[in-house]
Amino acid sequence: MPKQTVRDLDVKGKKVLVRVDFNVPQTKDGEVADDRRIRSALPTLQDVLDRGGSLILITHLGRPKGDPATDAPFKLDKVAAKLQELLGKPVEKADDTVGPSAQKLAAALKPGGVLVLENVRFNKGEKKGDPEFAKALAGLGDAYVNDAFGTCHRDEASMVAVPEQFAPEKRAIGFLVEKELKILDTLLKNPKHPYVAVMGGAKVSDKILVIESLLKEVDKLLVGGAMTYTFLKAQGIEIGKSRVELDKLDVAKKLLDTAGGKIVLPVDHLIADKPEAGAEVKVADGAAIPEGWFGMDIGPKTIAEYSKIVREAGTVVWNGPMGMFEVEAFAKGTRAVAEAMAESSGVTAVGGGESAESVEKFGYAEKVSHVSTGGGAFLESLEGKQFNSIKVIPDR
C-alpha cells in the first residue's frame, strides 16, 4: 500500500521535523565533497516551505564515537552552509540536538524558516532508540516526515521512536523515500523482462542474500568487481594475485550450481602488475589471470557482452562497480555499464554506494531511471526485508 506522504500533511504554520540523510562525503578539511544527498531532499523541503511551513532537520554525519575532539569533523556547520547555498535562503544551525540551543531556535522558528539540528548521533539515545530522547526531539515540532531512505534500515530513535510520538495523521514520508519505494516495488513485484542484475564490488559475502534473492527473479546476473575472482577461484580457474575470499569459495560454488546458468562471469580482464595508479596494465584474453598479476577491471570482450545485455534489458538493477573505477586506468568497465544503462529504454535503477558515485562521476545520473541514496537500505530491500521506519508511517 502507498504510504502517507508530505503532500498529505497540513503544514501551514507548522514546524515540520524532517529526518533527512545528509551523511555526505567530506573533504579533508570538512567541506561537502558530494552534495547529491542534500539535493535529493530539496523537493520535500521546498514543498513544506512553499505551503507555509517551517523545517527542523534531523540528520547524522559519519560515525561519532563520543569524544568531542575526534567527533569535531562530524559537526553539521558546513552541511548547513551547503544547504543554505542550495536552498537560496537562510539556514540556522543549532549547537545541540535537544538541548538549550535547539529548543530556543525551534521555539523562535517562523513560517519559511529552516533549522538544522546538530548531528543526531552525538546523542547516545539515538542509536539506542531511547524513548526519552525521542520524546524530547519530537517535542520540537508539530509533524514528522521521513525522507532519509539511506537510514530506513536502522531502528534508531529518529527513524522509529520519534514518529511514534506523533499522531498517525502527522507522520509521513517525503518525496525521496516515496520515489525509492516506488522503484523497489517495480523491481520486486513487477519487473519488465529481460530482467538483469549487475553485481560488482569487493566481496561476495556482502551480497550473498541479495544475490540469492535476485536469482529467483532475474534472467541474468552479471558479475564484476573483485567478487569475480572468488567465483572464478571456486571453479578452479587461476586468478593470479587478485583479491579473493577464500572462506567463501563454497558459497560462490553453491550460488553457481543453483543459479541455473543465470550468473554470467567475465570472459576477459584488465590486469595490472600492482593494484594502484601508474601500474603496468594489459588485457588477459580469457577467464584465467596469469601468476603475479591482479585483476582490476572487466576486459573489452566482457564490456561488449555486458553492455549489450544491459542495453537490451527491460529492467536493470545495478549495485557495485566493475573495477577500481577511482583510478582512470581501471574505470572502463564501470563507465561502460553506466553508459549502457543510460542508453537502455528499460527501467534502470542504480543501488546506491559506489555505483551511485560512479554514475554521478561519469555524468549519467540524470540519464537513468533512478539513483538510490541508500546503499545498505537498497540492498536489504532487494532481499525482501521490511523496515520498521516505514511500517510506522500510516498507509494512505
DSSP characters over 30-56: S-BS--HHHHHHHHHHHHHHHTT-EEE
Amino acid present at 142: D
Q: What are residue 100's DSSP bridge partners?
A: none
Instruction: Output the CA–CA distances (angstroms, integers) from residue 213 to 221, 259, 318, 321, in the order listed.
Output: 11, 11, 14, 20
The residue from 176, 211, 239 where one domain ends is 176
Binding residue per annotation — 354?
A: yes
Q: Is residue 244 part of a domain?
A: yes
Residues 252 and 320 in one domain: yes
The residue from 142, 176, 210 where one domain ends is 176
Binding residue per annotation — 154?
A: yes
Q: Is residue 305 part of a domain?
A: yes
Catalytic residue among 30, 112, 314, 376: 376
28 as an active site residue: the answer is no
Coil, strand or helix: which one is 67? coil
Binding residue per annotation — 60?
A: yes
| Domain range enclosing 53 | 6-176
Q: Is residue 245 part of a domain?
A: yes
Please list, in sequence order, all residues whose beta carbon lies within 8 angstroms of the beta carbon of residue 15, skipping any fewer than 6 positions away: 53, 54, 55, 56, 106, 109, 140, 141, 142, 143
The reported pLDDT for the residue numbered 69 is 87
Residues 77 and 225 in one domain: no
The dihedral through the CA atoms of 141, 142, 147, 148 has a sign that is: positive
Q: Is residue 390 part of a domain?
A: no
Q: What is the pTM of this model?
A: 0.88
Catalytic residue among 36, 51, 179, 203: 203
The residue from 176, 199, 222 where one domain ends is 176
- Nearest C-alpha neighbor of 138 from the set 125, 122, 154: 125
Residues 25 and 154 in one domain: yes
Binding residue per annotation — 242?
A: no
**Angstrom distance (rounded) from CA 339 to CA 319:** 15
Q: Is residue 394 part of a domain?
A: no
Q: Is residue 185 part of a domain?
A: no
**Per-residue pLDDT tens digits of the chain, which is 396 residues long:** 799 999 999 999 999 999 999 999 898 888 999 898 999 999 999 999 999 999 999 999 999 998 888 999 999 999 999 999 999 999 999 999 999 999 999 999 999 999 999 999 999 999 998 999 999 999 999 999 999 999 999 999 999 999 999 999 999 999 999 999 999 998 988 899 999 999 998 888 888 889 999 999 999 999 999 999 999 999 999 999 999 999 999 999 999 999 999 999 999 999 999 999 999 999 999 999 999 999 999 999 999 999 999 999 999 999 999 999 999 999 999 999 999 999 999 999 998 778 888 998 899 999 999 999 888 899 899 888 899 999 999 999
Binding residue per annotation — 23?
A: yes
Residues 344 and 232 in one domain: yes
139 as an active site residue: the answer is no
Binding residue per annotation — 62?
A: yes
Residues 256 and 225 in one domain: yes
384 as an active site residue: the answer is no
Phi-psi region of 112 (alpha: psi -120 to 50; beta: other; left: phi over 0): left
Please list, in sequence order, all residues whose beta carbon lies within 8 angstroms of the beta carbon of residue 262, skipping any fewer than 6 positions away: 215, 218, 219, 220, 221
Pairing type for strands 269-272 and 220-223 reads unpaired
Instruction: Output the CA–CA distances (angstroms, integers) from residue 151 to 39, 310, 380, 389, in the order listed.
Output: 17, 29, 11, 9
**Angstrom distance (rounded) from CA 394 to CA 5:** 9
Looking at residue 344, what DSSP letter applies? -
Q: Which residue has 542504480 as its cell numbers? A: 350
Residues 163 and 248 in one domain: no
Binding residue per annotation — 346?
A: no
Helical packing angle, 175-189 and 375-382, nearest 10°: 30
Q: Which residue has 523562535 as its cell numbers? A: 108
Catalytic residue among 150, 201, 240, 353: 353
Residues 105 and 225 in one domain: no
Residues 250 and 289 in one domain: yes
**Angstrom distance (rounded) from CA 167 to CA 40:** 27
Residues 82 and 136 in one domain: yes
Binding residue per annotation — 63?
A: yes
29: number of Cβ within 10 Å: 7
Element (H, E) at 199: strand 195-199
The reported pLDDT for the residue numbered 373 is 86
Q: Is residue 184 part of a domain?
A: no
Q: How many domains does the chain have?
A: 2
Residues 64 and 108 in one domain: yes
Residues 195 and 172 in one domain: no
Q: What are residue 192's DSSP bridge partners?
A: none
CATH of the domain at 351: 3.40.50.1260
235: number of Cβ within 10 Å: 12
Q: Which residue has 529526518 as its cell numbers? A: 19
Q: Where are the beta strands (DSSP E) in 273-319?
A: 281-284, 294-298, 315-319
Catalytic residue among 3, 14, 15, 37: 37
Q: Is residue 24 part of a domain?
A: yes
7 as an active site residue: the answer is no
Residues 244 and 160 in one domain: no
